[in-house]
Amino acid sequence: MTAITLINSFDISVGLEQLFLQCWKQVNAYLQKKPGYLGHKLHRAITPDAPFRFVNIARWSSIAHFEAAHDAGFRELVDQPAWSAFQPNPNLYEVVHVAGGDWHETVDSR
């Protein structure tokens, strides 16, 4: 099995940032408990003209784990009315070149 990377970009208007974060954390907490979940970093754009305000980079043990995690419980969460304003753009990637080692973050993970 090869670990894979999800890059999920969200085009969120500034006024909806807090609602998005609230909804996203709920879904993320659900997915974190699934087998094969390795971790994530959620990014917020610094520049106001970035086409995607939020980008989540998440790591899964395999495509099979990733697909199995997006089950009926997941769909129930993202089918809530609040989520309809947040169009995800999920794509799966493999890492082909790396340097500089890993970096550590000191941000909220709750």
Binding to a copy of itself by residue 33, rule CB under 8 A? no
For the segment 48-77, give every residue that binds a copy of itself (CB under 8 A): 50-52, 55, 57, 59, 63
Cβ contacts of 57 within 8 Å, gap of 6 or more:
5, 6, 7, 8, 40, 41, 42, 43
From CA 8, how far away is CA 55, in angstroms rounded?
Answer: 6
- Of 41 and 80, CB closest to a copy of itself: 41
From CA 15, how far away is CA 73, in angstroms rounded?
Answer: 28
For the segment 8-27, give every residue that binds a copy of itself (CB under 8 A): 21, 24-25
- Using the rule CB under 8 A, which residue among 68, 82, 85, 95 binds a copy of itself? 95
Q: Which residue has the tokens 């969120």?
A: 12
* Cβ 17 to a copy of itself shortest distance, Å: 10
What are 102's two structure tokens?
A: 């890993």
From CA 19, how far away is CA 13, in angstroms rounded?
Answer: 11
Residues contributing to the site for a copy of itself (CB under 8 A):
3-5, 7, 21, 24-25, 28, 32, 37-47, 50-52, 55, 57, 59, 63, 89, 91-105, 107-109
